[in-house]
Amino acid sequence: MELLLATQNEHKKDEILSMLPDLKLKTFKDFNFSGEIEETGSTFEENALIKAEFGYNLSQITCFSDDSGLVIDSLDGAPGIYSARYSGTGSFADNIAKVLKNMAGQPHRKACFICVICLFDGKEPRFFEGKIHGTIAEEIKGSHGFGYDPIFIPNGYDQSFAQLPAEEKNRISHRSIALQKFFEFLQK
């Protein structure tokens, strides 16, 4: 089966192919698209669908995309769908700083990472969700990973995602959970 992954990130393609090596996977690069897709949805599902529909219309092959982010209870779900652009600068260091500032003195630190994958074949979208619960650290912990990894401590662990070995983080992450559900569907 040939699929389009709605991304320009070749590392994401490599990560997925390492899990499903028999997949024939294309990206936007294969269709000479290098622009931005405006994510105007109000949910992870809507934004994933926008990207998957765009990819399908561009390529006319079944497309999948993901949208993910950090949801913090005491910040009313922020940064949520705005996780990548929470600070307004596009810098994850700035995004983390804004979260820590907004969480200063907050005793309730529950959060979760959510990833939603949308598969679109031109007819009916299908969604696969992965979620991992945890807490927000009071300071940056660790230097591995990316995004909010240095301040997210998954339930059952004493270390942040940025302190865990990559293999362990990838095994339990929200993206891994969503991809597993997606892969199980593809193998049916």
Active site residues: 67
Nearest CA to 74 among 110, 122, 33? Answer: 110
How far, in Å, CA of 57 to CA of 169, rounded? 34
CA distances from 104 to 40, 71, 74, 75, 108 (A): 30, 16, 11, 11, 11
Strands in 126-136's sheet, in edge-to-edge order, are 24-27, 2-5, 63-72, 110-120, 126-136, 152-154
How far, in Å, CA of 162 to CA of 164, rounded? 6
- Residue entry with tokens 């969503």: 178
